[in-house]
């Protein structure tokens, strides 16, 4: 089955700087890669996603890149703000096959220092 590895487990950056979180996946059939932000005591919230037919997607300060050949994808947050502090999870799944289970990475605790 699919295995998703996420690094780093913790990341601390100064406010205004950029943060990058990386994930690798094992199943070459995976074609949907979402990123979630989880605040303490809450469920995950989708912040951006990318499909395998696209190499990069951007939404304001957040961008995701995908390298299908290397089977890795990354989250980039620019101009970080204190409210970006949270735990971020990457995930992978196949589209169009049954229940389309999401497999999550281990998570990255991002801390933005004022």
Q: How far is the CB of 28 from other proteins (least distance, A)?
A: 19
Q: What is the DSSP letter of 71?
A: T
Residue 29, classed as helix, strand or coil, is coil
Q: Taking a C-beta distance cutoff of 8 angstroms, is the pair 95, 33 a contact? A: no
Closest CA to 104 of 20, 39, 46: 46
104 binds other proteins (CB under 8 A): yes
Task: Name the one range near other proteins by CB under 8 A: 21-29, 34-42, 58-66, 73-81.
Answer: 34-42
45 binds other proteins (CB under 8 A): yes
Q: How far is the CB of 8 from other proteins (least distance, A)?
A: 14
């Amino acid at each position: 089955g699919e295995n998703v590895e996420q690094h780093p487990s913790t990341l601390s950056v100064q406010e205004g700087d950029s943060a990058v979180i990386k994930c690798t996946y094992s199943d070459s059939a995976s074609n949907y890669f979402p990123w979630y932000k989880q605040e303490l005591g809450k469920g995950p919230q989708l912040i951006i996603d990318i499909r395998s037919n696209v190499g990069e997607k951007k939404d304001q300060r957040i961008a995701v890149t995908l390298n299908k050949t290397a089977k890795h994808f990354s989250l980039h947050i620019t101009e970080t703000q204190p409210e970006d502090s949270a735990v971020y999870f990457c995930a992978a799944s196949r589209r169009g096959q049954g229940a389309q289970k999401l497999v999550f990475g281990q998570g990255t605790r991002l801390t933005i220092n004022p």
